[in-house]
Amino acid sequence: MGFFDLWKVSGITTDYSKMSEPFYWLAVLVDSNDYESVENESIDVANSYIAMNNKFDLFFDSGIKKEKDNAVIFLVFLASYLLGKDREAWNWQRVRHLSQGLYESMVKSPAHFLHYNTPIINQIKNDLAIFLSEVQ
């Protein structure tokens, strides 16, 4: 993958990384298992993550090019969530860097990307389904 391929998505990764902090805090909340005072915003963020995960799957499974931007947005949300799960300090530049690395991996070697990231993505989806079932 060349510089220009990454440059094409850098605007998306930059813009959405700056707005991705709620996904970071969602990961912290889900990992805490303390759902006594969950706000509606956390439920909305979890539902948004799952919806974008579905759009990512649509792009990856079918190759529908118009879903590429949504796939990139999902990778940003995933990167922010992973930072929260790892308890790293939230930083939009770090989210952007991680999401661009995920994108590069996805484009360069889809089989490698799937092998290493699908279990993580599926585990997060399962964790969020459990979270939503307990708070709704």
Domain ranges of the chain: 3-32+39-135
Per-residue pLDDT of 59-89, as tens digits, reads 878 877 778 889 999 999 999 999 999 999 9
**120 to 6, 17, 28, 48, 85: CA distances (angstroms):** 23, 20, 16, 18, 11
Alpha-carbon dihedral 100, 95, 45, 55, rounded to 10 degrees: 0
Whole-prediction pTM value?
A: 0.91
Distance of CA 54 to the CA centre of its chain: 11
Band of pLDDT at residue 5, cut at 50, 70 and 90: low
